[in-house]
Amino acid sequence: MQFGPLTRLTDDEQMFVKEVDKFAATVVKPKVHEMDESEIMDKSVINGLFEMGLMGIEVPEEYGGAGGSFFMSILAIEALSKVDPSVGVLCDVQNTLVNNIFKRWANAEQKKKYFPRLSSKEIGSYCLTEANSGSDAFAMKARAYDEGSHWRLEGKKIFITNAKEANIFVVFANINPELGYKGITAFICERGMPGFSVGKKEVKLGIRASSTCEVILDNVKVPKENVIGEVGKGYKVSIETLNEGRIGIAAQMLGLAQGAHAGAMEYARQRVQFGKELREYQGIQFDLAELATNIEAAKLMVYNAARLKDAGQNFIKEAAMAKLFAGNVAEEVASRSLEVYGGYGFIKEFPAEKFYRDAKIGKLYEGTSNMQKATIFKLIDGQMK
């Protein structure tokens, strides 16, 4: 499949981005400071995401979804993150992780039961990480016991995004630790199941409106039909989903960088020092020009990975590179954009300090930067053999 210039959008894609930009400016932006301070995602923002169809972008129309492409999900995450990366990651986890799992691995009955809910009103959550199972995801201790008529889940997950707001959870547990990663299985759990609870909500440096919580599994009785994918194939479900999720986080970081840079550009036009606008000083010009170049390079990498995925081509290396590079760019752009504001960049009156705090997470979740480097090296080394 030939794409032409990678950042050129079709008319439909441009219209889609314009609508998401409008939503972000009119619904999200007025709530950003309040949500960050309260560490709560505003219900009007959540309702708006569903009303816009942004929580079921790839879900087939027959189930109430938008029937869009993975690339459209990436465009939505990017656009939302220009205004608030917390909202961007809410949309990201719903689309690139949860909906993606149901689209690729759920059976017909599971799709019929859950897709209409995920598309219209209910948030999903992806439960993989544990206290001693982060980068080494398959060292998980959560257990699933076959009780004959049902499965019984026991354990605890941490750092689970969207957990506070979610009703539908994809939970990974091991049916037999002696099998290693081949015992890992994915289960569909719902809020309200006896023994299932959402625990402590973490207080975070950035993306504070995005909930990050413990999920506690205290002898949760899960119906046999709630296994998603095959028993013992949860490792495949998790890895292949995270490969796509990395592009979503890269898009979040890309949007963040654009938002931070746009704010610095606007401030440089407004601020006057020594009788000149900041934008007239060569030092400011050169900084903002260099950052714009890095953002464009990140956009090329993110869009390339997303288009490869939609084309059915191998994208694992490109996804890891996009996340690694976009994470680096976001942190640098957020930091240097803040400096354009001088002392004002250090206070909450301007968005620079929030973008700066939000940027750090891009190097940490859905695979740290070092894990991306390990993946990239493994793949390029394999190409040399």
pLDDT digits (tens, 9 = 90+) for 331-362: 999 999 999 999 999 999 999 999 999 999 99
> What class, spelled out in words, does domain 125-232 have in CATH?
mainly beta
Percent of the chain whose predicted confidence (pLDDT) is above 90: 96
Measure the CA–CA gap between 339 and 335, rounded to whole angstroms: 7
> What class, spelled out in words, does domain 11-122 have in CATH?
mainly alpha
What size, in residues, is the chain?
385
* Contact (Cβ atoms closer than 8 angstroms) between residue 331 and residue 256: no
Number of other CB atoms surrounding residue 8 within 10 Å: 10
pTM of the model: 0.97
* 285 backbone dihedrals φ, ψ, rounded to 5°: -60, -50
Question: Can you read off the two tokens belonging to residue 283?
Answer: 């030092």
Position 4 scores a pLDDT of: 57
Tokens 């539908």 — which residue? 168
Active-site residue among 214, 244, 331, 366? 366
Measure the CA–CA gap between 114 and 4, rounded to whole angstroms: 37
- 235-383, what's its fold? Butyryl-CoA Dehydrogenase, subunit A; domain 3 (1.20.140)
Strands 212-223 and 184-190: unpaired
Domain ranges within the chain, ordered by starting residue:
11-122, 125-232, 235-383
Question: Can you read off the two tokens belonging to residue 257?
Answer: 């960088």
Task: Tell me whether residue 78 is one of the annotated catalytic residues.
Answer: no
pLDDT digits (tens, 9 = 90+) for 95-149: 999 999 999 999 999 999 999 999 999 999 999 999 999 888 889 999 999 999 9
pLDDT digits (tens, 9 = 90+) for 73-102: 999 999 999 999 999 999 999 999 999 999
